[in-house]
Structure 1
Amino acid sequence: MKKLFILLLFILPVLVLARNVLVFPNADIYYPEGYEDLAVYIGNTFESIRQEAIDLIGNDPGRINIVLLEKGTDTNGIAFPFNHKTIHIYLWPSDAALSTRMNVSNPYRQLLIHEFTHIIHLTYTTGLPAFISRVLLGTELLSPQNLSPFIEGVTVFAESTNYLSEGRLNNPLWGKELAYQNYAAGVFPELAYVLATSREDYRGGALYYNYMAAFYDYLVRRFGIDAVKNFHREISGKLLPVIGTITSAKNAFGATLDDLYNDWEKEVALRSTTYATLTEIKIIENGQIIDMAGTGDGVVFSYVRNGEASAWVGAYDRGLGEINDDGFDTRLSDFGAISIKWKDGSTYLMTSVAERGRVSREIWQQRSAVNVRLLDKGEISAFDVFNGKLVTAVYNKKEGISTIYFDKMEVLRLPWLVRDMIIMEDGSYVMLLSRNGINGAIGFFGDGEFKIILDDPYMKGRGIDVRNGLVVYTAAYEAEYMDAFAVDLSTGEICRLTEGANLEKAVLSEDYIYGYGQSRLAKGMSIYRFDYSIVPYEVKEVESDSFDPAESEYEMGDYLKKSFLHFVNPVLRTPLVEYDGKDFSLGFLFLNMSLDGEHSLTVNPSFNFGTLKPSLTVQYNGRIIGGIDLALDLNLGKTDLPLGSAAISTELFQMPINPSTRFRSSVTLQIDTSGDLSMKVPLSLGGNIFKLTLNPGFKLTAGKIGLILSLDALFVPTLETLVEIGMGFDEELYWYAGGAQVLFRIDRGWSPLLFFKEVGLGAKVLGKNLIFDGALAYLFMNIGTTIGLGDLYPKIGLSYFDGKFGFYFSIDGTP
């Protein structure tokens, strides 16, 4: 029975993932049923870009695994060097805001070269670190490259080498030009701040990704690619963190990275002088503008603001706003949206939601802040409203086909991804489209005929507007800028609307041109307004992105065999030595992972000396069919633990209240061989800046049933303030209340290690039954690590327990 249980733990992850595999010369491509054609294309694409990526770093990692995952409308790619060099590719292409901010010409090529560069870089280990990591521990987890400052910088640089309209460095909104405009606004960050990956900053990952890629690009331009490759080679053999980075930079470049970053800042300062001050009518301080739509006499827009509470508990200030031509500014609601439209006095929103491991889109109509209704849900890439009827574009990832539906009736099928669309007064369709090689084409459908109006390969913005027969869009026709242009639907002639701007999207009113982009006056993004002007413009012709991967030989592989061998091959194996004051024990820890990363197995045999007996602990954790999470434990020779235990949990349902607030419920059931049983059914109501959780349940221990009940509330009155209160019952009543408040920011650091962020005041009181039990009052500091270890919060203050005051000190992960 015990052997069968252990065998089941190894086989279950394989049986759950019914997949197929193609064996290419340098990669195994795992894919779900129905995606063979896409798997072949991805395999050919990988073989075509493989050597190019290797040449940028100087390390050949050998064969890899590429796993295609169908996660609904989730767009992503993830590299797992330690999981036997495995890459995950989520199959939904970049759309909405990501279509512009990722700057994608060929989505799978960009994902592959980005993630494969991670594999190349993070497996580049030599010397003593290679012996310790690979020989002694059997893992890639301890590569010195994991502490490199360029983990994402080198990959964004690599993805930007393909084509002029691909890669974040080639993006005039979020590439090098982000640094230029930030400098003009006086918010250019120091290196330590960039490396601290500040979630409280509106630029978020763009600091660690885009800024470091721009700095990396500077090093390549100044010293050459061979010097940068020498930096990677130097750091590959350095055992000590921080010191290894410092000495590697000096050996490769003759200076520290701090000094070189300061040199780059001087270049940025010079380039920033070319960015003139424009009319910014609305600045979202420390925030992003996500989308904008015209109302005829102004614009509505969606935005999200960051603050310290964003790093503490993931709270953001989201909302919809409106500005008219007279400059009157109104906040419409606290609803976030990835796309918005305005029709007949209503604002329509598209939001993204995650349920049971899948992501989908919801379309909402907002007449007022309290009058909203859900219109549709699904794998929707774009939408509009015509005569009160919803029009949607649904993308089929298997076929690469978009289907346009008018009030649920099929209208048109296109071999394109529809990024945006507008239905004109006569019922014809204007669409912003993308597919491999075209980062934004403009299509027209009317009178039963579809045609492409504009298909140059330059990067385009995230959406379009239509007025008086002109289709308004933004494009990177000129280096370092993203201006507004218009194409005439009848003649195809192109006109310029703005000059010297960097706009993600532009729309027209009767008298003005509106657009949004990085602020040149403050930290955040702004809505710009320009006087209406239109000048004929001729687009400079460039060579098209005609990437067509060469066909490689491949064959069908044995999925069950390959996935089983992958899972039984540990990603970590390490010896463990323990001493309890009397006896020694020698043990081993083996960690195994499935190809998709959703199943793990930990095996811990222990061979004891003295009076202790040998023992074996086996733990399995995985997500099985339908988003159900399963945990199984087996304990042999552990007299203080039950022989076996099992836990199962799943999300029961979600109920949206409005676009920003949802009611959720889940269930967790635990049982073990001693007869103990427990069950919890948490119910939560959460929004942008609050969360309420009721957690009822029961437990059966030694034949006795006990009730479990807790109620917890979290509020963020401002993005600098956190309040938590709660109470519960578990054998006895308990309660607590606490909070944190920012006092001031330090904003100083040392790039190889730490960055000191905010200082704040925190407090907490606790009690049991109706009796006061104790209290804490303390100052805290947020210290961001620059080597990928996250934020640390050292706390120092006073405690009061048992009627006595005491000194309080701790280091936590939250304030």
Structure 2
Amino acid sequence: MVLTTGCAISFRGGTKLDPSLSWNLIKTGHFQVYFHEREEVQAKKAALIAEEIHALLVEKLKWPPPSEKTHLILLDSIDSPFGATIPIPHNTIYISLTPPPASPIPFLVGYDEWLREVIAHEYMHILHLDMNGGTSAVIRKIFGREPFPLLVFNGAFPNLLQPDWLIEGLATYEESAIGVSDRRDNAYIEMVLRMAVLENNFPTLDQAGGKDSWPGNQIQYLFGARFYDYLAKRFGEKVLIDLAREYSQKVVPFFVDSSARIILGQSYSSLWNQWREELTRNFQKKKISLETLGISNLTPITQRGDYNLGPRISPDGISLVYTSVNKDDYPSLHLKNLRSGSDRELAPRNLGFSSSWSRDGKKLAFAQLEIFRNYSEFNDLYLYDFQKRNLKRLTFGKRLRDPDFNPDGRSLVAVENQTGENRLVLFSLGSGLIEPVTWLDSNMIFSHPRWSPDGHSIVVSGWKNGLNGLYLVNLEIKEIIPLIQDRFMFLTPTWSPDGKKILFSSDKTGIYNIFSYNIETKEMSQITNLLGGGFTPEVSTDGREIILSAYHSRGFDLYKIKWAKENPQKFEKIFSDNISKSDSSTPLAGISFESYSPWPTLLPRFWIPIAGGDESGLQLGGTTAGSDILGRHRYDLSALYGFLSHRPAGSFQYENNSFYPTIHAGLSYMPIIYPDLLTDLQGHQLDYWENKVRAEFDISYSWNFLKSSNTLKGGYFTETFSALSTVPMGIQPPETGVIKSLRSSWQLNTSKEFAFSISPENGRHLQIQYDWLSHQIGSDFNQNRFIAGWYEYIHFFFPHHVLATRLTGAFATGDHLVYRSFQVGGPDFTEEIIEPDQTNFFLRGYPIRQLRGNKALIGSIEYRFPIYNIERGYRSWPFFLNRTHGALFFDIGNAWDRETALPDFRRGFGAEIKMDMTFSYLVPLRLRLGVGRGADSDGITQFYFMTGNSF
């Protein structure tokens, strides 16, 4: 990447934390742990664990740790397990306190303690990505912690520019190597690899760079970790860090294969193929051994792939509800008629897969995520009424999941999440009151509670200190009885209709199968023998069939199987009290507590040279940006100097996120070019340069939800502009002077995009801008200026075929300002986004800015269609081609001053072909090659190459 423009890098617009929270920090020898109220206990534990992980990894890797402390931010604002590492401008780790429930979404992992597992993974990223040497070490000394390559040279963080399977694979491998998780070699990863091999769906090395087709980004974690494991066993574990070190000292980025050839003697591609051959031999043997025992005969119910989980049969035995999550549609609840086979979407669903029928079959309870008060994503309870066909939200911000109906129909049992802990609660459907079951162990992670058919007890999956199990909870006598407890998984329990047995999924045999537990005999029996894996069992109302989600190489689908109860295999050892306890209560020496202050981390940590231009020629300068760790204050700064004009230029933008509205202020002093703004007496178009001194202040507030967002903004700006170009005689020069304006804007976005989408789908994007210039507020000009855009995206019969429409209008009243007149014509270099200073609107098939005036109206209709999902790269090269798609379009528009009529509107039509790709392993691009033809007399045939969609 070569930075040759005068634009500044920006840290503004990132994730905003809840402004109402009061933050503190714990300082240790190598970390600063940030926490807010209610998180102190977890913060102390995290500080101790972080130092333990630091000692383990640094000793193991034999690599000097970062010279500065790592910032560890604890978040309790999302009801999903989450960890992220950002090494720029500070080494920073974000961690959700919510532990992963026992669920195949996104993948199952065994661990002793959630904080230990996630800190190990993310801190391994810090140690890996912070590595540098040679040229990159020199660059970091000169330019600081800059995020990009400079010209053809590696930047300050060379290990960032690698395939994700190298980055995530190493972290996943090392967290398993030091014993804090089993993600490298558990039954889940064995299942994914086994079925990919046996069904001939194993990704090539270049396909490991993809994140769309199954298994999605699991490739980076699971396949990456096991590939590292193969390399470690074959060449010795030391080579893994040698590979990271060697690449971190490269002069030129992206050539990861050269590091493999230097350290391992051959390319990653060759080694990947050899690894696959080894897996094939091993899994073929496994298949033969399973077939000798007899593979269970499953009858398919769904054949979609990806995730189809959580089947629940209606009390009358006719209908089946389940959750479907895939790359083509919004996650949703589905209703399938088991007699007719008909299948329809019941309601969209924001993740989660458990649900529960009321005993009369009239209602369905489930939980899903939703944004709560703009800054949190919490689970809440919902109730679908089949008679009224409506969905009712039962709770707001209560953080409840996995509901199950009490057989009496008056309450639900659910799991409540709070600050890294959870507990069972009873939710009254009549009063809405929540009654916690306070006598249960708060350190246990509960999942999927189910009432017994007689309503006397609840079975629930529980996890504590590395042991998973099934527990029977009796609320009347306040007793919890462990039924099964071991290092294996025991997931999603459900009852047989007679209440005598509990069915569940377990990896007890090394493969996830469906098992039963007999309440009376206390025996565990295996029901299925699967080649892939079985999950989320549900028993038919007559007790003769089991519906389950079974895994294959394209994901999870629903199947049914006869429940043959005779001669089940018995398991004697089903209970273990060998609990692994991590000593996270030991006091940590040398720590201190402080209230949070943004100032220590606010100074800029890097600068990047940039180039620009003014009316006289070249400008050179630099840009930087900064933010405090919690993102309360963000800014970017750029400065340039014109070596021929002998005039400086610069810009400073600041954003404050300390309050519920976001506050922005900016100041700039920049030369601005208006291409082809003027026309001389001979008809030649001339560029016009002017100098702008601008100050601005605005306040914005957003109302965010998972399926929509609203943003309202208001502000003030002042701008002084003076001519830099000499205007030829006979031409009216553009106005100069001072503009002062009050402005406001509103936008709504309900459109959606999915993994295989080629465009926004099923929704709209509305934007409105208004500017008021007046002598009353000190402006030299009076003007009212309105701009509005309506972009509609309509699903068009086939998957990801979209009919996209656009209607953009603008008009200005008052003083005529040449440089602020609206200009219509030509393609746009980026997607059309309505902004306060918008002047240009695209109309393909006509010269750029062909039409001008104080009023403009433009419409477009596009038929967008997919062509081919490529999903290939070339070996480990730094590009990945996702898909190609096309568009046929028709544009119509005009710009005018006084009056216009429909015949005055220009029309254009044409076609585009587009390519979605990933460049440099992490930058998504949509390249667009088009041809437009104007249908009117002044139209032209126009070829163009752009990025993004047109709108």
The one-character-per-residue Cα deviations of 1:18-62 (angstroms, maximum 9, x if unpaired) are 311111122111110231111001111111222333355443224
* Alpha-carbon distance in structure 1 between the residues aligned to 2:653 and 2:716: 15
Q: Confirm or deny: 8 A CA contact 2:457 2:473 kept in the other structure.
A: yes
The one-character-per-residue Cα deviations of 1:159-194 (angstroms, maximum 9, x if unpaired) are 333558x34334433x24212212323322221122
Query: Quick one: which amino acid aligns to residue 269 of structure 1?
Result: T
Aligned ranges 1:465-476 → 2 under 5 Å: 465-467=494-496, 468-476=499-507
Aligned to 2:75: 69
* Alpha-carbon distance in structure 1 between the residues aligned to 2:482 and 2:862: 59
**Structure 2 residue 725 is the aligned partner of structure 1 residue 646:** no
**Structure 2 residue 665 is the aligned partner of structure 1 residue 632:** yes
Question: Which SS does the other structure have where 1:498 is aligned?
Answer: coil
Aligned to 2:823: none
Structure with higher helix content: 1
Aligned to 2:804: 724
The one-character-per-residue Cα deviations of 1:689-710 (angstroms, maximum 9, x if unpaired) are 5112333442224432233332
Q: Confirm or deny: 8 A CA contact 2:72 2:94 kept in the other structure.
A: yes
Q: Confirm or deny: 8 A CA contact 2:770 2:785 kept in the other structure.
A: yes
* Alpha-carbon distance in structure 1 between the residues aligned to 2:194 and 2:593: 50
**Structure 2 residue 368 is the aligned partner of structure 1 residue 289:** no
Q: CA deviation at 1:360?
A: 1.5
Match of 1:360 among 378, 393, 397: 378
Q: Confirm or deny: 8 A CA contact 2:323 2:331 kept in the other structure.
A: no
Q: Confirm or deny: 8 A CA contact 1:61 1:120 kept in the other structure.
A: yes
The one-character-per-residue Cα deviations of 1:701-737 (angstroms, maximum 9, x if unpaired) are 4432233332221123443322211213222222111
Q: Confirm or deny: 8 A CA contact 2:307 2:555 kept in the other structure.
A: yes
**Structure 2 residue 654 is the aligned partner of structure 1 residue 604:** no
**Structure 2 residue 445 is the aligned partner of structure 1 residue 417:** yes
Aligned ranges 1:108-119 → 2 under 5 Å: 108-119=115-126
* Alpha-carbon distance in structure 1 between the residues aligned to 2:348 and 2:274: 42
The one-character-per-residue Cα deviations of 1:390-435 (angstroms, maximum 9, x if unpaired) are 4253535348352512302415123133321112222422222234
The one-character-per-residue Cα deviations of 1:511-537 (angstroms, maximum 9, x if unpaired) are 1222213225xx332223332134321
Aligned ranges 1:152-191 → 2 under 5 Å: 152-161=168-177, 163=179, 166-173=181-188, 175-191=189-205
Q: Confirm or deny: 8 A CA contact 2:873 2:880 kept in the other structure.
A: yes
Distance of aligned partners of 1:512 and 1:147 in 2 relative to their CA distance in 1, 3 Å threshold: same
Aligned residues: 780
**Structure 2 residue 766 is the aligned partner of structure 1 residue 755:** no
Aligned to 2:48: 44
**Structure 2 residue 594 is the aligned partner of structure 1 residue 574:** no
Q: Confirm or deny: 8 A CA contact 1:642 1:672 kept in the other structure.
A: no
Query: Quick one: which amino acid aligns to residue 43 of structure 2?
Result: A
* Alpha-carbon distance in structure 1 between the residues aligned to 2:906 and 2:325: 40
Q: Confirm or deny: 8 A CA contact 1:777 1:799 kept in the other structure.
A: no
Q: Confirm or deny: 8 A CA contact 1:72 1:379 kept in the other structure.
A: no
**Structure 2 residue 586 is the aligned partner of structure 1 residue 506:** no
Aligned to 2:737: none
Q: Confirm or deny: 8 A CA contact 2:205 2:876 kept in the other structure.
A: no
* Alpha-carbon distance in structure 2 between the residues aligned to 1:598 and 1:498: 54
The one-character-per-residue Cα deviations of 1:722-769 (angstroms, maximum 9, x if unpaired) are 221121322222211113212334454302223334333212222225
Q: Confirm or deny: 8 A CA contact 2:614 2:642 kept in the other structure.
A: no
Question: Which SS does the other structure have where 2:184 is aligned?
Answer: helix
The one-character-per-residue Cα deviations of 1:243-294 (angstroms, maximum 9, x if unpaired) are 3x12100111111111111112212323443346652513443432243334
Aligned to 1:400: 421
Q: CA deviation at 1:234?
A: 1.1
Q: Confirm or deny: 8 A CA contact 1:634 1:645 kept in the other structure.
A: yes
Q: Confirm or deny: 8 A CA contact 1:153 1:216 kept in the other structure.
A: yes
Aligned to 1:233: 245
Aligned to 2:458: 429
**Structure 2 residue 909 is the aligned partner of structure 1 residue 808:** no
Match of 1:373 among 371, 392, 403: 392
Query: Quick one: which amino acid aligns to residue 460 of structure 1?
Result: M
Aligned to 1:736: 860
* Alpha-carbon distance in structure 2 between the residues aligned to 1:331 and 1:486: 31
Match of 2:133 among 126, 133, 141: 126
More moved, 126-135 vs 227-236:
126-135
More moved, 112-121 vs 467-476:
467-476
User: TM-score, normalized by length of structure 2?
Assistant: 0.76
* Alpha-carbon distance in structure 1 between the residues aligned to 2:381 and 2:419: 23
Aligned to 1:787: 921
Could you say which structure has the larger radius of gyration? 2
Aligned to 1:95: 101
* Alpha-carbon distance in structure 2 between the residues aligned to 1:318 and 1:766: 36
Q: CA deviation at 1:642?
A: 4.5
User: TM-score, normalized by length of structure 1?
Assistant: 0.88
Aligned to 1:668: 713
More moved, 293-302 vs 206-215:
293-302
Q: Confirm or deny: 8 A CA contact 1:196 1:755 kept in the other structure.
A: yes
Query: Quick one: which amino acid aligns to residue 285 of structure 1?
Result: R
Question: Which SS does the other structure have where 2:136 is aligned?
Answer: helix
Q: Which runs of 5+ in 2 are unaligned?
A: 1-15, 149-154, 672-689, 720-739, 754-760, 774-780, 812-855, 895-901
Q: CA deviation at 1:490?
A: 4.7
Aligned to 2:735: none
Aligned to 1:593: 627
Match of 2:526 among 471, 496, 503: 496
Distance of aligned partners of 1:708 and 1:805 in 2 relative to their CA distance in 1, 3 Å threshold: closer
**Structure 2 residue 386 is the aligned partner of structure 1 residue 384:** no
Query: Quick one: which amino acid aligns to residue 445 of structure 2?
Result: L
Distance of aligned partners of 1:15 and 1:524 in 2 relative to their CA distance in 1, 3 Å threshold: closer
Question: Which SS does the other structure have where 1:43 is aligned?
Answer: helix
Question: Which SS does the other structure have where 1:208 is aligned?
Answer: helix
The one-character-per-residue Cα deviations of 1:53-99 (angstroms, maximum 9, x if unpaired) are 33554432243111112314243111111232111112222237467
Aligned to 2:230: 218
The one-character-per-residue Cα deviations of 1:201-254 (angstroms, maximum 9, x if unpaired) are 2422112222222222222222221112211111011122333x1210011111
Q: Confirm or deny: 8 A CA contact 1:477 1:539 kept in the other structure.
A: no
Question: Which SS does the other structure have where 1:293 is aligned?
Answer: strand
Aligned to 1:5: none
* Alpha-carbon distance in structure 1 between the residues aligned to 2:119 and 2:344: 41
* Alpha-carbon distance in structure 2 between the residues aligned to 1:512 and 1:786: 51
* Alpha-carbon distance in structure 1 between the residues aligned to 2:335 and 2:176: 34
Distance of aligned partners of 1:686 and 1:637 in 2 relative to their CA distance in 1, 3 Å threshold: closer
Distance of aligned partners of 1:606 and 1:98 in 2 relative to their CA distance in 1, 3 Å threshold: farther
**Structure 2 residue 24 is the aligned partner of structure 1 residue 20:** yes
Match of 2:341 among 320, 325, 328: 328
Distance of aligned partners of 1:26 and 1:396 in 2 relative to their CA distance in 1, 3 Å threshold: same
**Structure 2 residue 588 is the aligned partner of structure 1 residue 552:** yes
* Alpha-carbon distance in structure 1 between the residues aligned to 2:590 and 2:635: 31
Query: Quick one: which amino acid aligns to residue 477 of structure 1?
Result: K
**Structure 2 residue 92 is the aligned partner of structure 1 residue 86:** yes
Q: Confirm or deny: 8 A CA contact 1:579 1:585 kept in the other structure.
A: yes
Q: Confirm or deny: 8 A CA contact 1:104 1:110 kept in the other structure.
A: no
Query: Quick one: which amino acid aligns to residue 423 of structure 1?
Result: W
Query: Quick one: which amino acid aligns to residue 795 of structure 1?
Result: L
Q: CA deviation at 1:126?
A: 0.8
Aligned to 1:349: 366
The one-character-per-residue Cα deviations of 1:299-344 (angstroms, maximum 9, x if unpaired) are 421102214xxxxxxx5464414363x6835324252351322233
Question: Which SS does the other structure have where 1:235 is aligned?
Answer: helix
Question: Which SS does the other structure have where 1:160 is aligned?
Answer: helix
Could you say what the CA RMSD is over the residues aligned between the two structures, in angstroms?
3.2
Aligned to 1:6: none
* Alpha-carbon distance in structure 2 between the residues aligned to 1:799 and 1:242: 40
* Alpha-carbon distance in structure 2 between the residues aligned to 1:673 and 1:590: 25
